[in-house]
């Protein structure tokens, strides 16, 4: 795996040492990285992000999650995909690993205001926006609020959360983190209300974050962009493809 693809993959597990609360269990090895969140049943919070073991050994992963729904992120491994299908998992989504250098970044003038999340009220707005956009239930919304609030209080925090406003109305959110060596900006998530999609909100949030990253001395920005949604926009902003990540989740019909 080359340097850029490694950075793209690492945005799912390269967290601050103090970030991992008691409710989040990590398995982090050279050939296996898994994350289990005891406070959430979301497949986004419980996931396998690296699996370089023999496919015959995948039962150990299912045992680890103890019946909890989880997602499995696969990077170009047809044999593993076939094995997951046999175990009742289905290809749910595709994400494109994208990256761009930060030599020439600028902000396009837009009417939207971009603000960093700093207060508990901001945290609630950020979480509620993501819940509205992605359909979280009350339990997962509460978990999202608690996790964001805890993250902002980390002594070694290297990321944060952003809100986009159309006048005084919050219409978009994003989150970000820097790699442990500071060289990469991880763009870890974003969403825009249906009413404001296609109007430059997402572009504005990305451009602001790229400028900030360049000022901090980072050399690249990386993300795993959902196929057909943010991915085309990011390509227009200079991001290039470096790999394909397939998300597998339990098949409800299985």
Output DSSP code: residue 30: S
Whether 62 is covered by a domain: the verdict is yes
Query: Are 15 and 84 in the same domain?
Result: yes
Q: The domain containing residue 163 runs over which residues?
A: 100-243
Residue 213 phi/psi, 5° resolution?
-65, -40
Whether 253 is covered by a domain: the verdict is no
Domain count, the chain: 2
Q: What is the pLDDT of residue 20?
A: 77
- Domain end residue (candidates: 96, 124, 139): 96
pLDDT tens digits, the chain, 254 residues: what are they? 699 999 999 999 999 988 877 888 999 999 999 999 998 888 988 999 999 999 999 999 999 999 999 999 999 899 999 999 999 999 999 999 999 999 988 888 878 999 999 999 999 999 999 999 988 888 889 989 998 999 999 999 999 999 999 999 999 999 999 999 999 999 999 999 999 999 999 999 999 999 999 999 999 999 999 888 889 999 999 999 999 999 999 987 54
Whether 251 is covered by a domain: the verdict is no
Cβ atoms of 236 and 88 closer than 8 Å: no
Whether 26 is covered by a domain: the verdict is yes
Query: Are 92 and 130 in the same domain?
Result: no
Token code pair at residue 107? 């902000």
Query: Are 80 and 153 in the same domain?
Result: no
How many CB atoms lie under 10 A from the CB of residue 215? 10
Whether 212 is covered by a domain: the verdict is yes
Q: What is the pLDDT of residue 57?
A: 94
Query: Are 236 and 110 in the same domain?
Result: yes
User: What is each CA distance from 76 to 5, 97, 240, in whole angstroms?
Assistant: 12, 12, 17
Whether 85 is covered by a domain: the verdict is yes
Query: Are 43 and 163 in the same domain?
Result: no
Query: Are 66 and 113 in the same domain?
Result: no
CATH code of the domain in which 197 resides? 3.40.630.30
Query: Are 53 and 108 in the same domain?
Result: no
Query: Are 82 and 155 in the same domain?
Result: no
Q: What is the pLDDT of residue 23?
A: 87
């Amino acid at each position: 795996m080359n340097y850029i693809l490694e950075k793209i993959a690492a945005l799912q597990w390269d967290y601050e040492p103090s970030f991992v609360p008691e409710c989040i269990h990590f398995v982090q090895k050279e050939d296996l990285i898994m994350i289990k969140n005891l406070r959430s049943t979301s497949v986004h919070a419980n996931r396998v992000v690296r699996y370089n073991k023999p496919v015959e050994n995948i039962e150990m992963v299912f045992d680890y999650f103890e019946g909890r729904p989880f997602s499995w992120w696969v990077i170009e491994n047809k044999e593993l995909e076939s094995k997951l299908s046999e175990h009742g998992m289905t290809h749910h989504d595709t994400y494109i690993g994208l990256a761009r250098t930060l030599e020439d970044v600028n902000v396009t003038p837009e009417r939207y205001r971009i603000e960093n999340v700093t207060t508990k009220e901001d945290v609630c707005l950020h979480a509620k926006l993501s819940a509205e956009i992605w359909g979280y239930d009350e339990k997962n919304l509460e978990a999202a609020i608690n996790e964001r609030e805890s993250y902002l209080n980390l002594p070694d925090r290297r990321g944060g959360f952003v809100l986009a406003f159309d006048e005084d109305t919050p219409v978009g959110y994003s989150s970000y983190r820097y790699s442990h060596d500071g060289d990469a900006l991880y763009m870890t998530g974003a969403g825009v209300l249906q009413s404001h999609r296609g109007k430059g909100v997402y572009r504005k949030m990305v451009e602001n974050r790229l400028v900030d990253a360049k000022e901090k001395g980072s050399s690249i920005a990386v993300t795993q962009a959902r196929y057909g949604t943010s991915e085309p926009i990011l390509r227009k902003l200079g991001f290039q493809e470096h790999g394909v990540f397939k998300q597998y989740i339990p098949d409800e019909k299985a």
